[in-house]
Amino acid sequence: MKKIILAIFFLSLCFQGIAQDKIVYDVKFQGQKKNKVGFLKKYVSVRNGDVLDSLQLDQDVILLKRLAGVSHAYYQVFFSNDNLYNVFFSIEENFTLIPNLNVWTTTNEQLAYKVGLYDYNFLGRNIAFGGFYQNNGFDSYGINLRAPNLFSRNFGIALNHQNWTSEEPLYFDEGSANYKYSNTSFEALLLYQINFKHRLQFGANVFTEEYSYLNGLTSDAIPQSLELDKLMFKLVYEYDNLNYDYQYLEGIKNTFYLQYVTTENDFQDNFLIGWSDFMYFKRVGEKGNWANRFRFGVASNNASPFAPFSVDNNLNIRGVGNIIDRGTASMVLNTEYRYTLYEKGWFILQGNGFVDAGTWRNPGGDFGDFVDSNNFRVYPGVGLRFIHKRIFNAIFRIDYGHGVTKNSSRGIVFGIGQYF
């Protein structure tokens, strides 16, 4: 009898402990205008009836600040009745209909530009939709749709079409030649968010490449015109542990890309390419931010002028010029210190000092090419950022890079958004 009484007493204590848990009665949002409340409720993890968990709410705030349509977010908890509580997420929205502008000079000193218009919160549901037009002596355009939460909180899709034309250098042992390069592609990707920090993308890209000789070295081994039909399978894995506070970032993010390209021609075999972008951000005092990106990539080491990695002004080394060389492996480090020079209301002026350094493996070469002085580039420089706090990615940047290694150049790079 005593055992039964003790068991009943123990169970009553357990049920009493459960009954005293703080329970979420309702989840509410305030401050949103364009963002749809229905989407936001599905996007955060907390639900009506959940046990109130501050760690879960902290993670939801970080997730909300990663949305293009949110510049800042925080939560408050208010007592309702008994052991029930209301959770309020307060949202400061971004303006997300953004024009895009990039201006640079090509290797032949021609002015090139790229203009576009994107809505990064289309329909108020975290859908990015838009397109661009580019002129660098040739006409190019692209149309992009990215809806990461289209089917559920964790599952979405991306569709992309691009018609790209540019002047591209191909490198041979004896010298180089310039070709008109065209790429027409159609891509479909499935997007899956595994959990708070991990995401996957996978899908396929069908594209046609065309090469037409313009000038430079000619070779009997390489035709003056070439058309290649290709199929690419793509996998992207992303680890994201970044925390955003307006223009400041802190934490680690790593994105790994893997692509397998199939083709049938006499000049390029099927090849595998993979690379990783590791980024590390650290707050320094109240106004400083140390930012780093390390990129390492390797592809099938075919002795071909059609090597997939390029050394380029707008991709990896500021000031180096427009596609100065190609390789079958690449290693690049970008490090910069960002400092807020002036901040008032919505406007921020940020200065930065940077060092971009990179090297690559020649087609058919070995990893010893990484330490070859002909391949190694180091470009220190300075820049400015003009930032609007209430417009998504409204960062106009201007950087000047000056090479200090062999065969170096110098140049100015303009663009929208941080370089990385």
pLDDT in tens, 178-199: 889 999 999 999 999 999 899 9
Q: For the chain, list the domains and their CATH numbers.
A: 2-93 (3.10.20.310), 97-416 (2.40.160.50)
Q: What is the model's pTM?
A: 0.80
pLDDT in tens, 239-284: 999 999 899 999 999 999 999 999 877 667 788 999 999 999 999 9
User: Would you give per-residue pLDDT tens digits along the chain (420 residues)?
Assistant: 555 554 554 455 444 444 578 999 999 999 999 999 999 999 999 999 999 999 999 999 999 999 999 999 999 999 999 899 999 999 999 999 988 877 766 656 678 888 999 999 999 999 999 999 999 889 999 999 999 999 998 999 999 999 999 887 777 767 778 889 999 999 999 999 999 899 999 999 999 999 899 888 877 767 788 888 999 999 999 999 999 989 999 999 999 999 999 987 766 778 899 999 999 999 999 999 999 999 999 999 887 777 888 888 888 999 988 777 789 999 999 999 999 999 999 999 999 999 999 999 988 888 989 998 888 999 999 999 999 998 888 899 999 999 999 888 898 988 888 999
For residue 289, give the nearest of 279, 303, 302 by alpha carbon. Answer: 279
Q: How many CA atoms lie within 13 A of 101 on its CB side?
A: 8
Beta bridge partners of residue 200, listed in sequence order: 192, 237
Could you give the 3-state DSSP secondary structure of residue 403?
Answer: coil
Beta bridge partners of residue 184, listed in sequence order: 163, 208
Q: How many CA atoms lie within 13 A of 51 on its CB side?
A: 7
User: Which token pair is 276?
Assistant: 């990783």
Mean pLDDT of the chain: 90
For residue 176, give the nearest of 326, 54, 310 by alpha carbon. Answer: 326
User: Which token pair is 103?
Assistant: 């201006």
pLDDT at 15: 47
